[in-house]
Copies of this chain bind each other. A is one copy, B any other.
Amino acid sequence: MIVPTSYRTHPSPLESGLRLDGKRMTPQRKRVLSLFEEIGSGIHLSAEEVHSKLTSSGERVSLATIYRTLKLLVKMTFLNELDLSEGGNRFELLSHDHPDHHHLICIRCGRTEEFENNEVINAGKAAAKNFGFKLLESSLNVRAVCPLCINK
C-alpha cells in the first residue's frame, strides 16, 4: 500500500530551504529532486535525461525549468554537478556518505563509474596549500573507453 506523501506533509528539507530564501515550493522542483532520490546517488543524469524521464512518466515540465531547477538544487547542495564535458553536464544526488569521489568516464557511451582515493584528495589539498590557494573542491576525471565500447 502506498502512502500519499504529497497530500499533507511536514516541510521537507527542500521546502524549508526554499522558504528561507523567499523561494517557492513547486511540483516541478519536488519532482526533479525526488527523481534523483528514487534513482539513488551515484547515478549521473543530464538535464535532457531528467527532462525525458519526467515527461515520459506523464509530468508536464519544460526543459528550461529543468535547467533552472538543477542549477538551484546544486546551489542548495542537494545535487552535485559533474563537468565531464562530453555532451553536457551531469548531475547526481549529493551523498554525504562518500563526499569525495572521483569519476571514470567512458567517452564513447558516457558510462560513468565512481571511485574513491585519499591520495588524490591529499594531492589537491597539498597543491592548494603550496600556492596559497583556498581549496574549494578537487575532482579527478579519468577519461577512458569502457569494455563494451572498445570493439566498436
Contact = CB atoms under 8 A, between A and B. Distances in A.
Interface stretch (A25-33, A40-48, A54-62, A141-149): A141-149
Interface string A119-131: 1101110111011
Contacts of A89: 85
A97 interface: no
Interface residues of A, number: 37
Contact of A131 (B127, B131, B140, B146): B146
B142 A141 contact: no
A104 interface: yes
A124 to B, nearest CB: 4
A73 interface: no
A113 B142 contact: no
Contacts of A126: 117
Nearest to A89: B85
A122 B134 CA distance: 25
A34 interface: no
A150 interface: yes
